[in-house]
Structures are given as structure tokens and as C-alpha cells.
Structure 1
Amino acid sequence: MIQYPFLDKGMTIGVTAPSSGVPSELHELLHSAFKSMEKKGFNIISGETPWTQDKAKSASAKKRADEFNNMMLNEDIDLIIPPWGGELLIETLEYIDFKNMQNKWVLGYSDISLLLLAITLNTGIATAHGTNLVDVRGEYSDDTTGMWQSVLSTEKGESILQYSSEKYQKEWQFDKPTPHIYNLTEPTYWKSTSDDKVKVQGRLLGGCIDTIRHLIGTPYGNVQYFKKNYIPGDSIVWFLENCELSTTDLRRSLIQMKLAGWFENCKAIMFGRSSANTPVSNYTVEDVYKELSDELQIPIIYDIDCGHVPPQITFMNGAFAEVEADNGKGSVLQIFN
């Protein structure tokens, strides 16, 4: 059985940086994010790691893990939201206390998705792949990003429906700040390898493929254990996004996942929009999707609202989902059972 945390009004957010912290010249981002959350009625407890950054990490692996573990055990903290992602969260895994993990939400993406997936696979506790803290510092959120609070406030046994965005952000325009942080200028269009409407269901698992692929072959990435112990008999729908990989590196990573058994009893794979996916020779990301679809005999849905090209839907690792994609539009119904 999957355990689902619950977010209520007035709860306390623990802010810790198990990957990258925020350098001193950008501390205003944290201050404004805290103010935004407090306006929403939340309390904030910040650790030390969000405020420091050196050598591609916020602090030593042990300090980062200890701070996360302490927040997980702290009864005054109800959910944990890191400021953002980074590069070297994997260093902390051997120090994370999975055995005493409490039933509270952890929300984030990018490098944080490595920790999210590891928590769900090893404990059966659902984790939230969605916005990071600094991206909700605006006066308000766009409709897609803003759903994070409603999704985390869904009770066990209930369901919540999210739709594809109207527009997405092609690139950051720091000289044109908006009240909702993102500059949403490009029409969103979900695509698939199928000519027909796609409708699939299964348990959601996923994250940033750049980082979660490194769980393969470790004690923290045992998908078979998770399936046997927490979702026996259920199929999987993977959601993935590519931050920096070329098409050949993406292909190698997907083959590794396939050979490791991660795609067994998989009903579909969804890929977020990406500014990476750099073609190698004339090998494009569409080629990658088509080959994977043919090999696994499943539909591939791509350019969805997930990852580093915002906005993004809040996906719950472990939740049962019904996903539809048709004529450029998409929906994700998540059922907390």
C-alpha cells in the first residue's frame, strides 16, 4: 500500500538543501519565497544548508543528509521543500535514514527527483514531483504550477485532475519579470507516437532522467522490490524529463533502464519538454521516442508539462493515474489509493 501525506492549511514547511544551496548574492530569492509562502498561510523553518553553496553543493553529504533526516523526524515540520535542484544529491543517499522516514510530503524536481524516487521506492511513501520553492515566490502562480497545493491537499481515497497548460516558457527573460515568475509565451502541445488518442493508467514513477538513472544497480533503485511490496499487480506509467542529455545519451540511459527491468509491465512513458535533446548526426529525440515505443510496444507521450521547461504538472510518485492525450491536449487524473 502507498502512504499518502496530507497538506493542511497553516502547516509548517521545512526548507533544506540536500543538493544545491543558494549563493549569497541570490539570497533575496529565498527571502521572497519565504514571504510568498507565509502569505499563503504557511510557517517556515529553514535549515543552514539553503544559505550556503560551494563546490557544486550546499554542504558536505553528511551535513545535508543529517539536516534532511532531522527535518523528517521533527514533529513541528509537516512538509519539506528544497529551494531548488542541483548536481550532487546522490552523495547523500547512503546517509539518508529511510527506515525512520515519516509520512510527510517532499516536493521538488531536477536533482531532487533522485531523492523523491528513492524515498518512494524504498518506503512506499508518495513523493511530489513539481515546482521548487524559489519558483513560487511570485505574487501568484500560473494555473498549472499553482495546482501543487491542491494536489498535496488531496486526501487518501480521493482524486485530483490536472490539465495540460495553455502556454509554456521557451526561455528565461530576466529583464522582463512577471508577477508569476514564468514568461509563458509558447502554445503547449502534447504529442505522442500514436496516431490515435492515448488513454493509459498505472502507478506513476519518474523524475529527471539525468539523475534518476544513477539509482540503477544501487540499493536505492530497486523497482522490482517496490512493485512487489507496495503495488503488487499494478502497472507503471513513467514520467521523465531530460535536463542536459544529448539524444544518444538519452538513448543509452533508456536502454539501461530497460535492461534493468524498470520498464517491465509499463503501460506508457511520458517525456517533458526539454531544451536539451541535442541531435547527434541526424539522430533526433523523435527517433528516440519512436524506437522506444516500437521496442516496448507502448505509447510515448512527449512535450508534456514536466521538468525544466515550465510550467509543470505536480506528479505523485506512487499514485494511481489515468493519463489522456489527444489533439495536443492532455489530462492527468491522480487517485490516492
Structure 2
Amino acid sequence: MTVRYPRPLRPGDRIGVTSPSSGVAEAMRGRLDVAVRDLEARGYEVVVGRCMDGSRHVSAPAAERAAELTALLTDPTVRAVVPPWGGETAIDLLPLLDFGRIAEAEPTWMAGWSDISTLITPLTLLTGVATVHGNNLMDTPYRTPPGLLSWLDIVTAPRGTELRQTPPGRHRSGGFDDFRADPEVRDLTLDAEAGWTRLDGTGDVDAGGRLIGGCVETLVNLAGTRYLDTSALAGDEGLLVYVEVADADAFTACRHLHGMRLAGFFDHAAAVLVGRTRGPDARTLTQHEAVLDALGPLGVPIVADVECGHVVPYLSLVNGARGRVVHTAARSEIVQTLD
């Protein structure tokens, strides 16, 4: 598969905002306004779609959400699409999206995480267009911690750029900020020490391949379907697969990862990166043990507690980009190349 990168975003470009999963409740509109103003202050034109209602778990009927997302991804005047956040049932869009039309259009950046990985991961696998697993729109006003890159850092980078990220050494022990109480919040609370952890053994890790992955709770439902077939992307060079458990307990996470492995999702993995999680341990099985139980048979390096999960802060990973992960006693880093 030839990976196609959208051209870098430039001031004056148009960014589309739509909610392919959950919309924005009235109480959260203040944060939406802050995020939009921040993009406008950077020189971008922001177009907010009609599928934004936050009164239910989805912003609009599936057909309307699919039509709006397809329209934004195929509009030559829209250079990036970023949802406000994830949600619960973006899976209902997959049979309704016009992947053929999207593949024929000039590539457009799409960024997001959580339930949005239900869409961006198949988008890359079916069309070859690179997508960004990283911040959503509501995260955009936050100041990016040292060592990490935001989705805007990614989509504005010139073709051929090497994007290097290192863990900041801190994470947030609690939940998310309350945007109702403080829609202007820009500083991340990072109150706990953090670092990457090799699960499958000891020694240095140095592995490379095309990046692909996403949220375990949503992607598990696509395992074994055409929407999660990684063989074309893997080619002869293999994959760097990243996965993250949002909040499932260790037993559920273990079953999900076993199922994804049995369905072939990890067949071409040169290494697996696992996001830090707030999902609870079980009495006889920790989250780390769950990952090792399910993915240990792969016989590849497994690095956990990476900043690609539902725990603040977040690094940005480009689905389809060539990546290299290094984890030693002296340093941990991931380098992506928009080749």
C-alpha cells in the first residue's frame, strides 16, 4: 500500500468540525468556542458542521453523520477534519461512508482518538490516507508538555519531516478536567511520575514499521473484517501496532486483545505499544498481565504505559507513517517519518 499524506496545513486553510460520534452538550459549548477561537487565532478558518447536537449519545442519525463526514473529507477547500471528541457508537458510520469517493479525493487530514479510532484506522487501511491518532478538538487549547507533539504539530509538518517524541515523565493520576466549570483551562495537571515499561522481558527495544492502532474497546468489534485488515499496509516492512484500553477491567481487556490477535490484527507486528490506562486490575490479573497473557505469544517487544491512551498527556501517532520506537535504560522515544 502506498501511504498518501495530506499536504501540510497552512494559515488560511479551512478546518472542518463535525461529530461523527457524540456531539457537544450545551454545558460544554464554552469549551468548543474556546477551541474554535484558538484555531482561528492561528489563522485558520473553522467550519462547524450541523452534526453537533449533544443531547443524546450521537450527534445525529447515522446517515447524516456519514454524509457530513464524507462531504468534509472530499471537499477540496477543507484541509483537516477534527471532531470535538469521541463517543460510543461511531461504528454505525462504517457501512455508510463512501470510502471509494474519499480515496479518489485529494487527501485531507483527520485527527482524533477514543471512538474516533473506529473511523480513522479503517480510513487509513482502506484508502491509504494517513490519519492522526492524538488530540481531539476539545484538547487543542491545552499547552503541549515537553517532548510531545499535538495534532497541529503533525498536520503542519512538511513532507519528509522526522517527528520525534519522548515521554515527559509525568502523567495525570485523576480524571479529566471539568470543561463546564473551566472552559478556558490550558494547563494539564501532571501530578504523578511516569515512564514506559517493557512487559515481555528485559533488554533494549529498537523496532520499526508502519504505525497503526487505536482504542481496544472500539477496534475489537472490527477485528476480522475488512475495516481492520492490516496486511496491505504492512507490506514487507511490518508494523508498529499501538493499542490502548480506555477503561475496561483487566479480564475484559485480556479477552479483547486475545480476540484481536486471533483475528490477525497483530500478525505483522514488529513491536506493540500499549497506552497507559485507568482500567482497573482484577483480583488475580493486572492490566500489564492481561496484555502479556494475550500478546506474549507474538514473540515481539511489548512496551506499555506509552502516552497514547486515555490518560493525560497524549502523544500523536500517524496511522500509516513509518515509525521507529526505542526504549532503553537511558532513553525512550518514538520517531515518525512522513515519507
Alignment TM-score, normalising by the size of structure 2:
0.91
* RMSD over equivalenced CA pairs, Å: 1.9
Listed one character per residue, the Cα deviations across residues 237-270 of structure 1 (whole Å, up to 9, x for unaligned) are: 1111111211111111111111111111311111
Distance in 2 separating the partners of 1:41 and 1:14: 14
**Alpha-carbon shift at residue 214 of structure 1 (Å):** 1.1
Listed one character per residue, the Cα deviations across residues 123-174 of structure 1 (whole Å, up to 9, x for unaligned) are: 1111100001011124x43335554322222333332211112321121354
Distance in 1 separating the partners of 2:115 and 2:61: 16
* Alignment match, 1:190: 196
Distance in 2 separating the partners of 1:149 and 1:205: 19
**Structure 1 residue identity aligned to 2:286:** T
1:64-213 alignment to 2 at 5 Å? 64-101=65-102, 102=105, 103-138=107-142, 140-144=143-147, 146-171=149-174, 172=176, 174=178, 179-193=185-199, 194-213=201-220
Q: What are the ranges of 5 or more consecutive residues in structure 2 without an aligned counterpart?
A: none
Which one is further off, 5-14 or 144-153?
A: 144-153
* Alignment match, 1:6: 7
Please tell me whether the aligned partners of residues 34 and 184 of structure 2 are also in contact (alpha carbons under 8 angstroms).
no
Distance in 2 separating the partners of 1:71 and 1:173: 29
**Alpha-carbon shift at residue 181 of structure 1 (Å):** 4.1
**Alpha-carbon shift at residue 111 of structure 1 (Å):** 0.1
Listed one character per residue, the Cα deviations across residues 40-89 of structure 1 (whole Å, up to 9, x for unaligned) are: 22110010112x02431111100111110111122221100000000010
* Alignment match, 1:222: 229
**Structure 1 residue identity aligned to 2:7:** F
Residue 111 of structure 1 aligns to a residue in which SS?
helix
Residue 164 of structure 2 aligns to a residue in which SS?
strand
Distance in 2 separating the partners of 1:263 and 1:285: 18
1:53/1:328 CA distance change after superposition, 3 Å:
farther
Please tell me whether the aligned partners of residues 144 and 312 of structure 1 are also in contact (alpha carbons under 8 angstroms).
no
**Structure 2 residue identity aligned to 1:213:** V
Which one is further off, 41-50 or 324-333?
A: 324-333
Q: What are the ranges of 5 or more consecutive residues in structure 1 without an aligned counterpart?
A: none
Please tell me whether the aligned partners of residues 276 and 311 of structure 2 are also in contact (alpha carbons under 8 angstroms).
yes
Distance in 1 separating the partners of 2:79 and 2:308: 25
**Alpha-carbon shift at residue 23 of structure 1 (Å):** 0.8
Residue 110 of structure 2 aligns to a residue in which SS?
strand
**Structure 2 residue identity aligned to 1:27:** R
* Alignment match, 1:252: 255
The sequence identity of aligned pairs, in percent, is: 28
1:145/1:164 CA distance change after superposition, 3 Å:
closer
Distance in 2 separating the partners of 1:31 and 1:178: 9
Alignment TM-score, normalising by the size of structure 1:
0.92
